[in-house]
Amino acid sequence: MRKLVWLISGVAIGFVAAHYVNQSPEGRRFFEEIEQGRREFADAVSRGYHNRGAELGSALNDVEHALNNLNR
């Protein structure tokens, strides 16, 4: 239970500190850079997920085609 209290306290202190940092122009730029990096990372993960899905779909089509040729 003590660890949970420390965790919640740390999160609360982090939010308060982020709020104060975000009030300055430098702090806003800092958080904008973090947000841009997060967005780029999320986009890269999404692209990779969709590309891999397309690769697996293509491989599945190749297997189905090969199986159909065996049945002839």
Q: For the chain, what are the domain ranges? A: 2-70
Q: What is the pTM of this model?
A: 0.65
pLDDT in tens, 40-60: 999 999 999 999 999 999 999
24 torsion bin: left (phi>0), alpha (psi -120 to 50), beta (else): beta
Return the pLDDT at 71.
74
**Residues in the chain with pLDDT < 70?**
none
Which burial class, exposed, middle or buried, applies to 30 when counting CB atoms under 10 A from its CB (0-12, 13-18, 19+)? middle
Which amino acid would we find at residue 1?
A: M
From CA 51, how far away is CA 64, in angstroms rounded? Answer: 20
